[in-house]
Amino acid sequence: MIPYNKTEIVRELLGRVNGRVDRLVERVNEYQRFSNEAEGAMQTRYGSAKEEHREMADTLRLRLAAMGDISQIAGFSLPENPDEVKPGTLVRLVNGDGSYSNYFIFPNGSGETVTTEEGEVVVISPNTPLAKSMLGRRKGEEFEVTLPSARRNYRVDSLY
C-alpha cells in the first residue's frame, strides 16, 4: 500500500539538481573566462572587471559546494513502510484547517515541488523547522510548529 513512488520522486529531484549544477558550472566557467580576458586594476586606471568576475566565479563555486554531493541523492536509503517520521519518509499531514499536505523529508532538493499521480509533494530538508518537528512522530500524532510567519498545528495522517 504505497501509492507514492519515492524512487520516482528521487529520480525527478536528481534530474533537477543535475540541471542546476550544470548551469552553475557553465556560469562559473563563463565568469572565469571573463576574469581571464578582462583588464585588471594594474592595466587600467578604472578597471575592476577582472577582480569582479573572479569574485563572482568564486561565489558561484561556493554555491556549488553548498548544494552538496549529488551522489548522496542516488545512494540515499529510502525507508519502506516507516512506522515513524525519519529522513527519506514521505509524510501526509492534516493541516489545522483540515486540508492535507504532502512532504518528503530529503537531504537535497529542499523547496522543490514534485507532482505525482496522488498530488503535489513538497521536498523539505531534515533541518527545516517543520521537518525537525515531525521527526520521530508516528501516524495519528499531533504537533505544533512555530514558523516565522505563524504557529501551525498538524496531525500525521500517513507515512510512506
Cell numbers 550544470: residue: 22
Per-position DSSP letters for 134-150, written without gaps between them: HTT--TT-EEEEE-SS-
- Please calculate the CA angle 103-95-9 and round it to the nearest 5 degrees: 15
pLDDT digits (tens, 9 = 90+) for 83-136: 999 999 999 999 999 999 999 998 877 888 888 888 899 999 999 999 999 999
Q: Contact at 8 Å (CB) between 13 and 76?
A: no
Q: Contact at 8 Å (CB) between 95 and 101?
A: yes
CATH 3.40.50.12280 is the classification of domain 79-159: no
pLDDT digits (tens, 9 = 90+) for 146-159: 988 889 999 999 99
Q: Which residues are CB-neighbours of 136 under 8 A, at least 6 positions away?
A: 84, 85, 86
Q: Is the pTM of this model over 0.95?
A: no
Q: Which three cell numbers stand for residue 27?
A: 556560469
